[in-house]
Amino acid sequence: MPYVTYEKRGHLAIITLNRPERMNALGRELSADLREAEAEFAGDDDVWVGIYTGAGDRAFCAGLDLKEAAAQGGGATGGGSSASPISRFERIAPDHGKVTIAAINGAAYGGGLEMALTCDMRICAENARMALAEVKVGLCPPGGSFNLPRLVGLSNAMWLLLSGEPVDAEEALRMGLVTRVAGSAELLDTAVEMGETIAANAPLAVRATRKLAHLGIEMPRDYARRMGAMLIESVWSSEDAVEGARAFAERRPPDWRMR
pLDDT at position 21: 94
Average pLDDT over residues 148-175: 96
Say which DSSP state 64 is in.
Answer: B
Checking if the pLDDT of 103 tops 50, the result is yes
Average pLDDT over residues 16-34: 94
pLDDT at position 123: 98
- Which residues make Cβ contacts (< 8 Å) with residue 186, sequence separation at least 6? none
Indicate which residues carry an active-site annotation: 114, 134
Rounded to a whole number, what is the distance in angstroms from the first to the last CA of the chain? 39
pLDDT at position 258: 86
pLDDT at position 79: 43
Checking if the pLDDT of 75 tops 80, the result is no
Checking if the pLDDT of 72 tops 80, the result is no
CA 137-140-145 angle, 5° bins: 145
Collapsing DSSP states into helix, strand and coil, what is residue 258? coil
Instruction: Grade residue 82 by pLDDT with cuts at 50, 70 and 90.
Output: very low
Q: Which domains does the chain have, with CATH numbers?
A: 4-199 (3.90.226.10), 203-250 (1.10.12.10)
